[in-house]
Amino acid sequence: MTAADRMLDRYAELAVKIGVNVQPGQTLVINAPLCTAELVRKIAKTAYLTGAKHVYTEWTDDELTRLQYDLAPYEALTEYPMWRAKAYEELAENGAAFLFIIATDPDLLKGVNPERIAAADKAMRTAMYTFRNYTMNNSVSWSVIAAPSPAWAAKVFPNLPESEQVSALWNAIFRATRTDVDDPVTAWRNHQAALNEKVTYLNGKQYRCLHFKAPGTDLSVQLPPGHRWQGGASVTANGVPFTANIPTEEVYTAPLKDGVNGVVSSTMPLSHNGNLIENFTLRFERGRIVEVTAETGFDVLQKLIETDEGSRYLGEVALVPHQSPISQSNLIFYNTLIDENASNHLAIGNAYPVCLEGGDNLSPEEMEQRGLNTSLMHVDFMIGSAEMDIDGELADGTREPIFRNGNWAF
């Protein structure tokens, strides 16, 4: 067995045992690009050896996706196969676990009319809304991991020879996910315990507001009564721990929908729907985005926040130290799964109900009543840097340092 095979085996084990945490007799559903077939086979083997009953795989392909956007009639982009949405709902109802592997070219849809992209995205999100609630409520175990594609690797390592780009991105992913250590599963359990310490501290504080200060950012984010910080492993309704994102370096909660005010500036490119949005700012008044700017991708950003009323509000605030391993790699991955774990970030759109005490099974109406945002969207964007300070404001108005110079202050 080669060293590369051993690393892929470790990565597959992480996906199965730490990511979705497959249980005996459970069905595993894998959604993956064709270029990741070797990894998918290893994941399937590991899942079966762990006790999975079924492993179902749904394949995707960047070239077919681009053909659809270039050649399909507009009407086709506004429709989504409901048989697929219903299949995912049925699988979730029966307790399946879901693993999503992403390897998309960050520039896949560059040059496509943003109207077409927005129409297809809204159709998909509308059709998959019920299934998404299974994941956002932690009703099922689910996880997202990354694997290289040639186009993505070329974007991250443009100065390397083409023959070296994919292996370089694999090595970067292995480092970011702790796959390169002797015992990745134990390393992840230790890492999750460290994140839980931050979660416990912040939940004990119950700050009523967070204040973000950095070049181009002066933002206050109120937190709803009874908010809960999350981080590391999540737990399903049946008590099964899982890790929704590999890698993860964040602790996060939900903001009060109408309690966000000020200006925030992005610090990393956002890859959204096959396009890059770069150097953008958002200005908020009473929670609502009232002004946007962007050096690149303005039209895509504008369409994003016009998806529905909730896409003009925030659904997540997440804290990640600048000294995180991914940040210290000095790489931009052009992939939010990894880049968001290098930086403090916010998310436009839907909040996680689990970020409220007793919120696991709240309906959208109940979420709104308790101050959380609801939307078809949930799109993270990065705002952190080595120059960011964050204060937490207590109920009596006292402020305490949470971050100084981009890192934890406690």
CA distance 195 to 198: 5
Residue 107's pLDDT band, with cuts at 50, 70 and 90, is very high
Token duo for residue 335: 């992939």
Smallest CA-to-CA distance from 108 within 274, 277, 272 is with: 274
| Residues 163-178: tens digit of each pLDDT | 999 999 999 999 999 9
| pLDDT given for residue 352 in this prediction | 96
| pLDDT given for residue 134 in this prediction | 95
DSSP state of 245: B
| pLDDT given for residue 111 in this prediction | 97
* pTM (whole model) above 0.85: yes
Q: Which helix (H) or strand (E) holds 107?
A: none
Backbone angles phi, psi at 207, to 5 degrees: -60, 140
Smallest CA-to-CA distance from 332 within 270, 266, 288 is with: 270
Q: How many CA atoms lie within 13 A of 315 on its CB side?
A: 25
Between strands 97-102 and 407-408, the pairing is unpaired
| pLDDT given for residue 360 in this prediction | 83
Decide if pLDDT at 4 tops 90: no
| Residues 344-366: tens digit of each pLDDT | 999 999 999 999 999 888 889 99
Decide if pLDDT at 30 tops 90: yes
Q: What is the mean pLDDT of the chain?
A: 97
CA distance 243 to 175: 17
Residue 3's pLDDT band, with cuts at 50, 70 and 90, is confident
| pLDDT given for residue 237 in this prediction | 87
| pLDDT given for residue 253 in this prediction | 98
How far, CA to CA in Å, does 60 sit from each of 65, 101, 184, 191? 8, 10, 28, 32
CA distance 332 to 317: 21
The share of the chain scoring above pLDDT 70, in percent, equals 100
Residue 204's pLDDT band, with cuts at 50, 70 and 90, is very high
Cis before 353? omega within 30:
no
How many helices (H) and strands (E) would you count in the chain? 14, 20
CA distance 394 to 99: 39
| Residues 152-164: tens digit of each pLDDT | 999 999 999 999 9
Decide if pLDDT at 24 tops 90: yes
| Residues 323-338: tens digit of each pLDDT | 999 999 999 999 999 9
| Residues 213-238: tens digit of each pLDDT | 999 999 999 999 999 999 999 999 89
Cis before 114? omega within 30:
no
| pLDDT given for residue 1 in this prediction | 79
| pLDDT given for residue 361 in this prediction | 82
Decide if pLDDT at 129 tops 90: yes
| pLDDT given for residue 308 in this prediction | 97
